[in-house]
Amino acid sequence: MVIVQDPKEATFDGMPNSAIHTGQVDLILPIAKMHGALVAHVRHEAGPAPVAKVALSDTLSAIVEWLRTKTSHDFRLYKPGTLSRRIEHRMAINGIDADGMASYLEVLKSNAKEVELLATDLLINVTSFFRDKYVFEFLSTNIIPPIVRDHQAGRPIRIWVAGCSTGQEAYSLAMLFVEGLDAYESRVELQIFASDVDPDAIATARDGLYPLTIAAEVSPARLARFFSREEGGYRVSQALRASVIFTIHDILNDPPFSNLDMVSLRNVMIYLQPEAQLKIIGLFHFALRSGGILLLGNSETIGGSEGKFESISGPERVYRQIGSAVAGRLSASTFGLRHTRTAIAGGAEGLSEQALSAAELCQRMVLESHAPAAILINRKYDCLYSLGPTNRYLHVPPGPPTQDLLAMVTDHTRIILRAAVHQAIRDNARVIAADGRGSYDGEAFSYKIDVRPMLNGAEDFLLVCFVDEPKPPVRRASQGRTQTPSDVSELTRELDETKAELRGTVRNLEILTEEQKVINEEALSVNEEYQSTNEELLTSKEELQSLNEELTALNGQLRETLDRQKITSNDLQNVLYSTDIATIFLDNDLNIRLFTPAAKVLFRVIATDIGRPLGDLKPLAVDAALLDDCRSVIENGQSIEREIEGPSESWYLRRILPYKIAEQVADGVVIIFSNITDRKHIAAHLDLARRTAEQANMAKSRFLAAASHDIRQPLQTLTLLQAALGRVDGIPDMPFLGIPARSVV
């Protein structure tokens, strides 16, 4: 548990605020309350065991449901163990014992801030640059080169990093792909979609500023190429940032992106239930192109999704998409999992493996001993599955192999069977037809035909059962009753006529049946075309949803960029309009881009002059070399300074610098005019004072020279007298004349 002092109480709030901004702080308290929080935390650690699992599950479900209604996050498919641990962590922070989850639910209902804190805590954000380096080395060596080398020109490389957290993994993949594109000198566009359900993590990723500690994760060469050093960290370069689009996206609820070359989802499914994992794998199978790459975390696999992906490397958890991704499969993986899982769990609950084997054995013996012969058919009379002694009632007709049930029964049974099936389909009810006759091993028998309609999904089936009738008792002929040969022949003749009429009726019915079959086949063909069109529409719908997600992501990023540009533009405008320095921005053609209001002192420029050549404006200052100096700066990139005279005896220091954009490329010049009139006047006064001092100094020198000449004349006279009169003692010295007294007479 991390506790930070309340910044309002701290004398210096730098360290507490820095700790709070990491997002890892559990409590923000005054120092006086920290002791109580620590005691409550220790008591919780040594407290009683949690309550029964059933009660905990009910309360846990209520908490998850409350989060779903009060936030934009749905944690119903997260593993209960993960949810319990994170919730207990928040309970400990709030001083609630482990058996007080119901009390914590009440706290959530009364404290909206705690709801947001719990949701943030459940969204586990753990990531780093090039996490598990051997995985990224495998990608750079075996996966990325084929993608770059074999990629179709004119189509961008599309990658989806789901669960990107604060963006390190997305930027890591971007660096690898940029290096791969450079290695093959490819100009294919790189487009990486990075999504996460946590808005705060996405905001951090979009900002692209990371602490200095990433130097331990990113090589010095990549730091120098893809990052710029700033105060307190490294910022992702603009070129690398432009290749990654960050967006808020819930992988379990929002439509996926589509037509992707690679998908990365690392260490996310470990927090989800198997049902959600299967759903996500189905989504990725739809989102990837044929042969696309899927990258999972070290503890994650594709599970029971065989037939959708094949393994490329087991240790690195790299898979390749196989099969076709159609809308139907996406829908099945998205919506059909919960009911399937419930049915399977309900049927097998409470049975051991030995009990299941005994149940299967019992069912098989009952079917073999007591069940009638049964055949499952569709509306076209095609046999789909058979059960029981069907060889007593069916035979293989001559000719090519067939699955048509009507072709396998006798003529007599065919009439009864067709009528029973037709009635069952028409009435959608069970039909039992009698008077079925057959023979097996030389023994005649009679049976009933039981037809039951069945519905399986969107297709109709019929179950046809052949049920033997008991043999009638043998009756003796009645005494005293005889039949004449004429009666027998008459009955035989009527029977033959009836059979002939019946055969004609059967033939007519068969003709009508064939015609109906042709009509049905045409209808089925049209239905299949409609179904194919419907699947195409569903696929188009999913693609449109994917495009909508991309547009939403792009729109969010553009809105963020526009807001930043507005702020920057306002800051720049305030700086330029609040300064007294005349500044003019020109492009490479020396057309005016922007100017400050102070520039009107030197040029007759107005707002509508933006875009006009600077040479068209008449300057108010004498500066004939201005345009030539601008061209020289554009060509050489070296700044030029000159002093020019402005109007009203003013002076300016004119500096021309290159206008640099990204990657230190020059795209025009910036002309800055600094007013140096006062400096010029001061320099003039100083020069005048210097000249005056020099003149005074010269006058002083002349005066001293004249005075020196006047003084030397008496000295010379005295010297001559000394020489003429000789040395005289007793006369005091005259030091002011430089002559000792004894030398003077």
Average pLDDT, the chain: 79
Same structural domain, 145 and 250: yes
User: What whole-number distance in Å separates Cα of residue 701 and Cα of residue 707?
Assistant: 10
697 and 589 in a single domain? The answer is no
Q: How far apart are CA 450 and CA 208, in angstroms?
A: 73
Which segments of 371-440 does DSSP mark as H helices, in order?
Answer: 411-427
CATH number at residue 198: 3.40.50.150
How would you class 486 by CB atoms within 10 Å of its CB: exposed for 0-12, middle for 13-18, buried for 19 or more? exposed
* CB 446 within 8 Å of CB 469: yes
pLDDT score of 501 more than 70: no
Whether 587 is in a domain gets the answer: yes
Q: What residue numbers bound the domain in which 331 lies?
A: 133-338
Q: What pLDDT is attached to residue 174? A: 94
Q: Does 255 lie in the same domain as 288?
A: yes
| Same-domain pairing of 199 and 71 | no
- Over range 177-186, report the average pLDDT: 91
Q: Are residues 90 and 159 in the same domain?
A: no
- The average pLDDT across 175-181 equals 93
Residue 737 in any domain: the answer is yes
Q: How far apart are CA 567 and CA 561, in angstroms?
A: 10
Assigned domain for 574 exists: no
- Is pLDDT larger for residue 2 or for residue 99? 2
Greater model confidence, 661 or 182 = 182
| Alpha-carbon torsion (245, 248, 249, 254), positive or negative | negative
Q: Which ranges in 46-79 belong to alpha helices (H)?
A: 53-70
For the full predicted model, state whether its pTM sits above 0.95. no
As a whole number of angstroms, the distance between CA 595 and CA 585 comes to: 6
User: Phi then psi for 86, rounded to 5 degrees?
Assistant: -70, -40
pLDDT bracket for residue 326 (50, 70, 90): very low
User: Does one domain contain both 603 and 656?
Assistant: yes
| Residue 535 lies inside a defined structural domain of this protein | no
* Final residue of a structural domain among 454, 471, 488: 471
Residue 347 lies in a domain: no
Q: What is the predicted pLDDT for the residue at 146? A: 92
End-to-end Cα separation, the chain, in angstroms: 112
Task: Kindly state whether residues 728 and 596 are assigned to the same domain.
Answer: no
Say whether both 7 and 97 belong to one domain: yes
Render pLDDT for 359-376 as a digit per residue (tens, 0 to 9): 666 766 676 667 788 999
Distant-in-sequence, close-in-space partners of 273: CB < 8 Å, separation ≥ 6: 77, 78, 79
Asked if pLDDT for residue 303 goes beyond 80, the answer is no
**CB 449, CB 465: distance < 8 Å:** yes
pLDDT for 474? 54
Residues 6+ apart with CB under 8 A from 547: 258
**Where a domain ends, among 471, 505, 540?**
471
Tell me the range of 36-40, 165-169, 248-252, 333-337 where mean pLDDT is highest. Answer: 165-169
Q: Does 668 share its domain with 611? A: yes
| 700 belongs to a structural domain | yes
Range with the poorest average pLDDT among 312-316, 383-387, 562-566, 737-741: 737-741
Helix (H) or strand (E) holding 44: helix 31-45
When divided into structural domains, the chain yields a total of: 5
State whether 27 and 157 are in the same domain. Answer: no
Looking at residues 135-149, what average pLDDT do you find? 92
Q: How many angstroms separate the CA atoms of 277 and 267, rounded?
A: 12
Among 46-60, 281-295, 379-393, the range with the most confident prediction by mean pLDDT is 281-295
| 596 touches 614 (CB < 8 A) | no
Q: Is residue 402 part of a domain?
A: yes
Residue 669 pLDDT exceeds 60: yes
Say yes or no: 149 and 222 in one domain: yes
Tokens at residue 241, please? 């940032």
The winner for highest mean pLDDT among 123-127, 413-417, 734-738 is 413-417
Determine the pLDDT at residue 52.
Answer: 37
State how far the alpha carbon of 240 is from the alpha carbons of 198, 350, 453, 550, 650, in Å.
Answer: 22, 56, 63, 19, 49
Q: d(Cα 395, Cα 405) in Å, to the nearest integer?
A: 10
Final residue belonging to a domain, choices 413, 448, 471: 471
Query: Based on the domain organization, do 202 and 303 belong to the same domain?
Result: yes
Q: What is the mean pLDDT of residues 419-446?
A: 84
What CATH number is attached to the domain comprising 441? 3.30.450.20
| 707 in a structural domain | yes
Band of residue 320 on the pLDDT scale cut at 50, 70, 90: very high
